[in-house]
Chains A and B, each alone.
Chain A
Amino acid sequence: MKAAQRWLIGVLGAALLSACGGAPEPAKDPAQALREALLSAEPGSTVTIPEGHFTFDRSLSLGVNGVTLRGAGQDKSILDFAGQLAGAEGLLVAAEDVTLEGFAVLDAKGDAIKMNQCKNLVVRGVRTEWTGGPKSTNGAYGLYPVQCDGVLIEDSIAIGASDAGIYVGQSTNIIVRRNQVAFNVAGIEIENSTQADVYENNVVDNTGGILVFDLPDLPVQGGRQTRVFHNTVAHNNTANFAPEGNIVGTVPAGSGIMVNSNDDIEIFENTISDHQTAAVLVVSYLITGRPLDDPNYDPFPEQISIHHNTIEKSGYDPDSEPLIALKTAAQLPSLPAIIWDGFVRPEQEGPVVCAHDNGELGTVALDAPNGFAAPDFSGAAFACTREALPPVMLGGAE
Chain B
Amino acid sequence: MRTAGFLALGVLLAGCGPSGPVREGPWPERLSELAVLAQEDGTLAPQAGFAYTLAHPLFSDYAWKYRTVSLPEGSAASVVTNDDTLAFPVGTVITKTFAFPQGAAGAVQTVAPEPLASPAAAFSLAGMRLMETRVLRHTTAGWEAVSYQWNEAGTEAFYAPAGALVPLTTEGGERFPYLIPDKNQCAGCHETAMGTKILKPIGPKPGNLAAHGFADGTSQFEAWRAVGWVSAPEPATPWAAPGAGTAAEAHAYLDANCAHCHSDTGAADTAGLDLRITASELGRGRCKTPVAAGRGSGGRAYDLWPGRPEASILPFRLGHQDPGIMMPELGRSLVHEEGVALVEAWITAMDGDCAAGLSL
- B161 contacts which chain A residues (CB < 8 A)? 36, 39-40
Q: With an 8 A cutoff between CB atoms, is B287 at the interface?
A: yes
- B183 contacts which chain A residues (CB < 8 A)? 39
Distance of B18 from chain A, by nearest CB (Å): 11
> For window 260-307 of chain A, which residues contact chain B by CB distance below 8 Å?
283, 287-291, 293
Q: Is the CB of A57 within 8 A of B184?
A: no
Q: Is the CB of A169 within 8 A of B270?
A: yes
Residue from A219, A243, A291 within 8 A of B272 (CB atoms): A219
**Binary per-residue interface labels of chain A (23-47) against chain B in the complex, 1 for a CB within 8 Å, 0 otherwise:** 1000000001001101110000000
**Binary per-residue interface labels of chain A (108-120) against chain B in the complex, 1 for a CB within 8 Å, 0 otherwise:** 1111000011000
Q: Is the CB of B323 within 8 A of A85?
A: yes
- B292 contacts which chain A residues (CB < 8 A)? 140-141, 146, 163, 167, 169
- B4 contacts which chain A residues (CB < 8 A)? 1
Could you tell me the distance between the alpha carbons of A333 and B287 in the complex, rounded to whole angstroms? Answer: 40
Q: Is the CB of A139 within 8 A of B272?
A: no
**Binary per-residue interface labels of chain B (132-161) against chain A in the complex, 1 for a CB within 8 Å, 0 otherwise:** 000000000000000000000000001101
Q: With an 8 A cutoff between CB atoms, is A67 at the interface?
A: no
Q: With an 8 A cutoff between CB atoms, is A62 at the interface?
A: yes
Q: Is the CB of B270 within 8 A of A219?
A: yes
If the complex has contacts A141-B292, A141-B294, are A23 and B29 also in contact, measured as CB distance less than 8 A?
Answer: yes
Distance of A102 from chain B, by nearest CB (Å): 22
Q: Is the CB of B324 within 8 A of A245?
A: no
> For window 145-190 of chain B, which residues contact chain A by CB distance below 8 Å?
158-159, 161-163, 165, 177, 179, 182-185, 187-188
Q: With an 8 A cutoff between CB atoms, is A212 at the interface?
A: no
> For window 114-158 of chain A, which residues contact chain B by CB distance below 8 Å?
116-117, 136-137, 139-141, 146-147
Q: Is the CB of A243 within 8 A of B299?
A: yes
> For window 62-99 of chain A, which residues contact chain B by CB distance below 8 Å?
62-63, 84-88, 92, 94
Q: With an 8 A cutoff between CB atoms, is A9 at the interface?
A: yes
Q: With an 8 A cutoff between CB atoms, is A244 at the interface?
A: yes
Q: With an 8 A cutoff between CB atoms, is B15 at the interface?
A: yes
> Which residue of B has the minimal Cβ distance to A40?
B161
Q: Is the CB of A22 within 8 A of B158?
A: yes
Q: Is the CB of B290 within 8 A of A290?
A: no
User: Which of B37-45, B64-72, B352-360 sits within the interface?
Assistant: B352-360
- A94 contacts which chain B residues (CB < 8 A)? 184, 187-188, 191, 194-195, 267
Residue from A110, A170, A246, A247 within 8 A of B323 (CB atoms): A110
> Which residue of B has the minimal Cβ distance to A251?
B360
- A283 contacts which chain B residues (CB < 8 A)? 360
Could you tell me the distance between the alpha carbons of A9 and B324 in the complex, rounded to whole angstroms? Answer: 58
Q: Is the CB of B264 within 8 A of A244?
A: no
Q: With an 8 A cutoff between CB atoms, is B233 at the interface?
A: no
> For window 164-201 of chain A, which residues contact chain B by CB distance below 8 Å?
167, 169-170
- B187 contacts which chain A residues (CB < 8 A)? 63, 94
User: How many residues does chain B have at the interface if contact means C-beta atoms less than 8 Å apart?
Assistant: 67
Q: With an 8 A cutoff between CB atoms, is B288 at the interface?
A: yes
**Binary per-residue interface labels of chain B (42-76) against chain A in the complex, 1 for a CB within 8 Å, 0 otherwise:** 00000000000000000000000000000000000
Q: Is the CB of A19 within 8 A of B355?
A: no
> Which residue of A has the minimal Cβ distance to B160?
A23
Q: Is the CB of B355 within 8 A of A36?
A: no
Q: Is the CB of A247 within 8 A of B359?
A: no
Q: With an 8 A cutoff between CB atoms, is A211 at the interface?
A: no
Q: With an 8 A cutoff between CB atoms, is A357 at the interface?
A: no
Q: Is the CB of B12 within 8 A of A137?
A: no
Q: Is the CB of A245 within 8 A of B1?
A: no
> Which residue of A has the minimal Cβ distance to B326?
A88
Q: Is the CB of A61 within 8 A of B323?
A: no
Could you tell me the distance between the alpha carbons of A136 and B28 in the complex, rounded to whole angstroms? Answer: 46
> Which residue of A has the minimal Cβ distance to B176?
A85
Q: With an 8 A cutoff between CB atoms, is B9 at the interface?
A: yes
> Which residue of A has the minimal Cβ distance to B316?
A245
- B296 contacts which chain A residues (CB < 8 A)? 140
Q: Is the CB of A244 within 8 A of B297?
A: yes
Q: Is the CB of A244 within 8 A of B330?
A: no
Distance of B172 from chain A, by nearest CB (Å): 19
Residue from B1, B264, B290 within 8 A of A246 (CB atoms): B290
If the complex has contacts A16-B13, A88-B329, are A246 and B293 also in contact, measured as CB distance less than 8 A?
Answer: yes
Q: With an 8 A cutoff between CB atoms, is B269 at the interface?
A: yes
- B12 contacts which chain A residues (CB < 8 A)? 12-13, 16-17
Q: Is the CB of B270 within 8 A of A84?
A: no
Q: With an 8 A cutoff between CB atoms, is B257 at the interface?
A: no
Q: With an 8 A cutoff between CB atoms, is A203 at the interface?
A: no
Q: Is the CB of B182 within 8 A of A39?
A: yes
**Binary per-residue interface labels of chain B (1-41) against chain A in the complex, 1 for a CB within 8 Å, 0 otherwise:** 10011001100110110000000000011100100000000
Could you tell me the distance between the alpha carbons of A92 and B191 in the complex, rounded to whole angstroms? Answer: 14
**Binary per-residue interface labels of chain A (1-13) against chain B in the complex, 1 for a CB within 8 Å, 0 otherwise:** 1100100110011
Q: With an 8 A cutoff between CB atoms, is B333 at the interface?
A: yes
Distance of B4 from chain A, by nearest CB (Å): 6
Q: Is the CB of A109 within 8 A of B324?
A: yes
> Which residue of A has the minimal Cβ distance to B178?
A86
- A36 contacts which chain B residues (CB < 8 A)? 161-162
Q: With an 8 A cutoff between CB atoms, is B313 at the interface?
A: yes
Could you tell me the distance between the alpha carbons of A20 and B288 in the complex, rounded to whole angstroms? Answer: 55
> Which residue of B has the minimal Cβ distance to A16?
B12
- A39 contacts which chain B residues (CB < 8 A)? 161-162, 182-184
If the complex has contacts A88-B324, A116-B194, A217-B289, are A146 and B358 also in contact, measured as CB distance less than 8 A?
Answer: no
> For window 74-89 of chain B, which residues contact chain A by CB distance below 8 Å?
none
Could you tell me the distance between the alpha carbons of A147 and B270 in the complex, rounded to whole angstroms? Answer: 7
Distance of A101 from chain B, by nearest CB (Å): 20
Could you tell me the distance between the alpha carbons of A170 and B291 in the complex, rounded to whole angstroms? Answer: 12
> For window 43-58 of chain A, which residues contact chain B by CB distance below 8 Å?
57-58
Q: Is the CB of B269 within 8 A of A219?
A: yes
Q: Is the CB of B270 within 8 A of A290?
A: no
Q: Is the CB of A87 within 8 A of B323?
A: yes
Q: With an 8 A cutoff between CB atoms, is B336 at the interface?
A: no
Q: With an 8 A cutoff between CB atoms, is B322 at the interface?
A: yes
**Binary per-residue interface labels of chain A (212-237) against chain B in the complex, 1 for a CB within 8 Å, 0 otherwise:** 00011111000000000000000000
Residue from B30, B179, B288 within 8 A of A58 (CB atoms): B179
- A88 contacts which chain B residues (CB < 8 A)? 323-324, 329-330
> Which residue of B has the minimal Cβ distance to A260?
B360
Could you tell me the distance between the alpha carbons of A320 and B35 in the complex, rounded to whole angstroms? Answer: 67
If the complex has contacts A13-B8, A21-B29, A61-B188, are A288 and B358 also in contact, measured as CB distance less than 8 A?
Answer: yes
- A170 contacts which chain B residues (CB < 8 A)? 270
If the complex has contacts A16-B9, A219-B272, A245-B290, are A137 and B295 also in contact, measured as CB distance less than 8 A?
Answer: yes
Q: Would you list 5 pairs from A and B whose C-beta atoms are within 8 A, ordered by A residue?
A: A1-B4, A94-B187, A108-B324, A219-B269, A245-B298
Q: Residues of B at under 8 Å CB distance from A?
A: 1, 4-5, 8-9, 12-13, 15-16, 28-30, 33, 158-159, 161-163, 165, 177, 179, 182-185, 187-188, 191, 194-195, 197, 264, 267, 269-272, 282, 287-301, 313, 322-325, 329-330, 333, 354-355, 357-360
